[in-house]
Structure 1
């Protein structure tokens, strides 16, 4: 199975989701510290040029590969990816389940602003504290999203599963 967590930039909530999925961050009720958040691979490190690139984060305990994807403002990226995978499956070139999970619904305003200042304008002095605040605020929702993504993946008989996660309130 292949998990792909995606959102606008692919460097904040997606990196956190991958870190929780891979047990890099603990799912305990403890809110991660600034240091723990900044140590998450690729957190606040990707740039616009990385958009559309799959970032491999590792294999989970069951051997499933975990990736992240920054899709930027394109509304058709995930739809195109879904249809491409569908084409590969129909041509017997892909027989592995693909899980596409949108992390955008868990992004709080502080993280949006922090990403804009840090990644967009290069002003880390303003952006990073906002990103930390946002990450700490939404960590519970990210953990829930990851766990629900894993459950949906296990329960589904489909080879391509697109999870919009619209029920989350950032």
Structure 2
């Protein structure tokens, strides 16, 4: 199975989701510390050149690959990736299940502003504290989103490519 967490920038909630999924963060809904947040691989590290690239974060305990992708405002990227995946699965008899899980609904306003200041206009002394505040506000939702994503991966047997919009985390 392949998990792909996606959102606008691909560097904040997606990186947190990948870290939760790979058990690199505490497996609970407790608030993360500033140090835990800033030590998440790729958190606030990706640039404009990374948009649209699949970033491998690792392999989970069940042997599943975990990726992230930043899609910017392009709402068609994930459906296009789904169609490409289905085409490749049919053409090459590739039956690996792929789950796209949208982390955007978990993003609080502080994180949006922090991302704008830090990644958008390179003002880290304003952006990073806002990102940390936002990450602390949403970490419990990100943890639950990951747990739900993994559960759907284990229990959905009818579809080879699944898109989870995760609107319940708004």
Shorter-chain TM-score: which interval? over 0.9
1:63 is paired with a residue of what secondary structure?
coil
Unaligned runs of 5+ in 1: none
Q: TM-score, normalised by structure 1?
A: 0.97
**In the alignment, is the contact (CA less than 8 A) between 2:30 and 2:140 conserved in 1?**
no
Inter-partner Cα distance in structure 1 for 2:29 and 2:116: 28
Taking the TM superposition and a 5 Å limit, the aligned residue runs for 1:1-170 are 1-157=1-157, 158-169=159-170
1:156 and 1:28 mapped to 2: Cα distance?
A: 24
Deviating runs (4+, > 4 A) in structure 1?
none
Q: Secondary structure at the match of 1:3?
A: strand
Contact 1:6/1:101 (8 A) holds in 2: yes
> How far has the Cα of 1:30 moved from its partner?
3.0
Unaligned 5+ runs, structure 2: none
Secondary structure of 1:5's counterpart equals strand
**Distance of 1:103 and 1:90 partners within structure 2:** 28
Equivalent residues of 2:29, 2:143 under 8 A apart: no
The Cα of 1:126 is off from its aligned counterpart by 0.4
**Rounded Cα–Cα distance in structure 1 between residues aligned with 2:31 and 2:102:** 22
| 1:33-71 Cα shifts (integer Å, max 9, x gaps) | 111111100000001110010110011110100000000
Work out the number of aligned pairs and report it: 169
CA contact (8 A) 1:85 1:94 kept: no
Q: Aligned with 2:168: secondary structure?
A: coil
Q: What RMSD over aligned residues (CA atoms) do the two structures have, in Å? A: 0.9
Q: Distance in 1 between matches of 2:101 and 2:26?
A: 20
The whole-number CA distance in structure 2 between the counterparts of 1:75 and 1:29 is 29
TM-score (structure 2 length as normaliser): 0.97
Q: CA deviation at 1:94?
A: 2.1
Indicate conservation of the 8 Å contact 1:3/1:99, yes or no.
Answer: yes
Q: Deviations over 1:99-118 (max 9, x none)?
A: 10000000000000000000
